[in-house]
Amino acid sequence: MLDDLTMGTIVSGSVLGLLGLFMFLYGKREGRPMTVIAGLILGILPMVMHAMLPLWLVSAGLVGGVVVHRRHADTSPIA
């Protein structure tokens, strides 16, 4: 398990873990449960996924999902 740890996976895990921490804290402060959940998942994900490409793809999907949800949830229809 520790044989596949390279400098790239360590740096990627650290960057994505910090991004998850920041998303969690931001979502908690702003009262956005979707951002809190995505931040928690992003913080835990590098501990269970050690392949860099799937890790970055799943992380990009999580962050993109939060961005799309936030962009569409904040707009109100013109009546």
Q: The pTM is what?
A: 0.81
pLDDT band for position 75 (cuts 50, 70, 90): low
What pLDDT is recorded for position 29? 94
Q: What is the mean pLDDT of the chain?
A: 88
78 Cβ neighbours under 8 A, 6+ residues apart = none
| Helices of type H across 1-79 | 7-30, 33-48, 52-73
- When pLDDT is cut at 50, 70 and 90, the band that residue 76 belongs to is low
* 77 DSSP 8-state letter: -
pLDDT value, residue 70: 86
Distance CA 66, CA 27 (A): 10
3-state secondary structure of 51: coil
Domain coordinates in residue numbering, the chain: 12-68
pLDDT at residue 79 is higher than 60: no
